[in-house]
Structure 1
Amino acid sequence: MNKSELIDAMAADAGISKGAAKKALESFIGNVGDALNQGKRVSLVGFGSWSVTNRAAREGRNPQTGATIQIAAKNVVKFKPGAELDGAVNK
């Protein structure tokens, strides 16, 4: 499912216009991103939670040349599914 298909499904389920569903989805994505950028954890009970962790710098290899390269440290977003979502996927 891509973003436009999700917007269509949200609009149909909620009985709202596609424009309103698009605004709601964009607001959700923006607010989750802002919270994670501030170092906060976002949790939706039953669905899952997002958090930010730091991945340390490390050494890697270029697969074409075999040369050693330095991979910079960065923040990464992690998602842990909630019990309801996990149960729905693993019936």
Structure 2
Amino acid sequence: MIKSTLVQRIAENYPHLYQSAVNNIVSAILDEIVEGLARGGRVELRGFGVFSVSHRQARTGRNPRTGEYLKIEQKRFPVFKASRAVHERLNRGEDSILINSPSEVT
């Protein structure tokens, strides 16, 4: 699912909200997650999962085309670990994955 589809489905489930308002809300949530990770923190969304930052140490790599050795800098990358509730919902069966109304979201 892409962001525009998510915004559209939320707007359909909550007709009292304008699609532009839903878009702003989704964008604000995603921006806050990114900002939290950029500060080196951890973002936990209860019942959904945890976003955190992991590190790859600096190392020496090799260009496979030329055989030349290169220094690869240390890098940070995002990691997501789904909650137990998400794992259980995914393993219940295919019919339970479809969300038709806000009341079905647990």
Q: TM-score range by the shorter chain?
A: 0.7 to 0.9
Structure-1 residue corresponding to 2:2: 2
Structure-2 residue corresponding to 1:23: 24
**What percentage of residue pairs aligned between the two structures are identical?**
33
Structure that is richer in strand per residue = 1
How far apart are 1:53 and its partner, in Å?
2.0
Structure-2 residue corresponding to 1:44: 45
How far apart are 1:52 and its partner, in Å?
1.2
Equivalent pairs counted in the alignment come to 91
- In the superposition, the TM-score normalised over structure 2's length comes to 0.75
After TM superposition, the structure 1 stretch with the greater mean CA deviation from structure 2, 33-42 or 57-66, is 57-66
After TM superposition, the structure 1 stretch with the greater mean CA deviation from structure 2, 19-28 or 79-88, is 79-88
Asked if 1:32 is matched to 2:33, the reply is yes
Q: Tell me, in whole angstroms, the C-alpha distance in 1 between the residues paired with 2:10 and 2:83.
A: 21
- C-alpha distance after superposition, 1:2-56 (max 9, x if no partner): 1111110111122222101100011001111111111221101110001112211
Greater radius of gyration (CA):
2
Q: Tell me, in whole angstroms, the C-alpha distance in 2 between the residues paired with 1:64 and 1:41.
A: 38
For the aligned residues, what is the CA RMSD? 1.6
Structure-2 residue corresponding to 1:69: 70
CA gap of 1:64–1:90, structure 2 versus 1, over 3 A, is farther
Q: Which amino acid aligns with 2:5?
A: E
Structure-2 residue corresponding to 1:12: 12
